[in-house]
């Protein structure tokens, strides 16, 4: 299994531009999580999906952030317009929806907004 696949690995963009991060979860996993990691705030859960349905998006910082999961094998996190304070590492993770289940992380997208 290839694991959770994220793209791009690195993204540098100018303030005001739209940024789209992509994630392919592990086949058969029905929960998908988007996290953001910064030195100051650690790993923050932005949103998670169960069976492609968004369950909790209370961690999404503001309306500039949106996430979709059109099917079981693909999810996107979009920031529009991007701001310098959005600079962080964004991780996608997937797991099966059972109580004591490991979540597998992708390698992350390192986003820099200048």
Partner 1 sequence: RKEVEQDPGPFNVPEGATVAFNCTYSNSASQSFFWYRQDCRKEPKLLMSVYSSGNEDGRFTAQLNRASQYISLLIRDSKLSDSATYLCVVNQSGGSNYKLTFGKGTLLTVNP
* Contact residues: partner 1, CB under 8 A: 31, 33, 35, 41-43, 45, 48, 50, 55-56, 91, 93, 95, 97-103, 105-108
Please identify, using beta-carbon distances, which residue of 59 and 81 lies nearer to partner 1.
59
Question: Could you tell me the smallest distance in angstroms from the CB atom of residue 41 to partner 1?
Answer: 8
* Cα 114 to Cα 99: distance, rounded to the nearest angstrom: 41
Question: Could you tell me the smallest distance in angstroms from the CB atom of residue 14 to partner 1?
Answer: 24
Q: Which residues contact 39 (CB under 8 A, 6 or more apart)?
A: none
């Amino acid at each position: 299994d290839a694991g959770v696949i994220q793209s791009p690995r690195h993204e540098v963009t100018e303030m005001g531009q739209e940024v789209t991060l992509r994630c392919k979860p592990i086949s058969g996993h029905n929960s998908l999580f988007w996290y953001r990691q910064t030195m100051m705030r650690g790993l923050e859960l932005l949103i998670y999906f169960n069976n492609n349905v968004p369950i909790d998006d209370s961690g999404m910082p503001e309306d500039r952030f949106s996430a979709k999961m059109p099917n079981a094998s693909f999810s996107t996190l979009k920031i529009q317009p991007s701001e310098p304070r959005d600079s962080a590492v964004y991780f996608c993770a997937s797991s099966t929806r059972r109580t004591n289940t490991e979540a597998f992380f992708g390698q992350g997208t390192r986003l820099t907004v200048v």
